[in-house]
């Protein structure tokens, strides 16, 4: 097999990968922070770089080298974000037991404290019961992680004080 045929094939495959990644991004089928988008760009640019450098097309080779660096930087950032999310998603039995209901309105609520003749009381329609949701806790975790990132003292747990 002719070596120049491999170079040409690498160029075409690289072109198809980069154009497909960009086309899928533009069509909304891939997100810019998708690993597939980054892999398509990095591998495609690498193949185009080989083809361009082999043919002496140095401006194209340099641009594809820069494209690889940008893709690698984006991939590193994606991995760091995923690790940070994994660290902040530590399971806590106290917060895992919290309800995930977010609606408000009329209904019944068990009475806590003194026992009366009724186990439930009917709430008037104007009463809103605040409920802490998992999303609220995740936002608090993220806010505290950003606030205390430089200190390294964040335990990843939310403390709710009175």
pLDDT of amino acid 93: 55
pLDDT of amino acid 145: 76
Assess whether 21 and 71 both reside in one domain: yes
Classify residue 148 by its DSSP letter. Answer: T
87: which 2 tokens? 């660290």
Helix intervals (H) in the chain: 3-26, 35-54, 58-88, 93-96, 134-147
> Does 82 fall in a domain?
yes
Assess whether 26 and 74 both reside in one domain: yes
> Does 156 fall in a domain?
no
Domain assignment of residue 111, given as a range: 93-147
> Does 61 fall in a domain?
yes
Assess whether 69 and 119 both reside in one domain: no
pLDDT of amino acid 148: 62
Assess whether 28 and 73 both reside in one domain: yes
Assess whether 78 and 30 both reside in one domain: yes
pLDDT of amino acid 9: 95
Assess whether 68 and 101 both reside in one domain: no
CA distance 147 to 126: 36
pLDDT of amino acid 100: 46
- For residue 112, give the H/E element and its range: none
Structural domain count, the chain: 2
Assess whether 8 and 51 both reside in one domain: yes
68: which 2 tokens? 């690889």
41: which 2 tokens? 């760009």
Assess whether 13 and 75 both reside in one domain: yes
Q: Write the CB contacts of 127 (distance below 8 Å, at least 6 apart in sequence).
A: 106
Residue spans of the chain under pLDDT 70: 1, 90-131, 148-162
User: Which residue, 24, 33, 18, 22, is CA-closest to 74?
Assistant: 33
Total-model pTM: 0.55
> Does 62 fall in a domain?
yes
């Amino acid at each position: 097999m002719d070596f120049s045929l491999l170079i040409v094939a690498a160029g075409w495959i690289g072109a198809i990968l980069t154009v497909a990644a960009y086309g899928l991004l533009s069509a909304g089928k891939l997100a810019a922070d998708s690993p597939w988008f980054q892999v398509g760009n990095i591998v495609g640019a690498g193949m185009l770089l080989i083809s361009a450098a082999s043919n002496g097309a140095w401006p194209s080779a340099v641009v594809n080298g820069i494209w690889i660096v940008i893709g690698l930087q984006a991939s590193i950032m994606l991995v760091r974000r995923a690790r940070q999310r994994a660290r902040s998603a530590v399971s806590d039995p106290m917060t895992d037991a919290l309800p995930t209901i977010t609606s408000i309105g009329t209904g019944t609520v068990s009475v806590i404290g003194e026992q009366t003749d009724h186990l439930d009381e009917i709430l008037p329609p104007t009463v809103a019961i605040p409920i802490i949701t998992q999303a609220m806790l995740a936002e608090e975790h993220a806010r505290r992680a950003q606030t205390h990132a430089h200190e390294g003292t964040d335990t990843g747990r939310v403390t709710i004080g009175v």
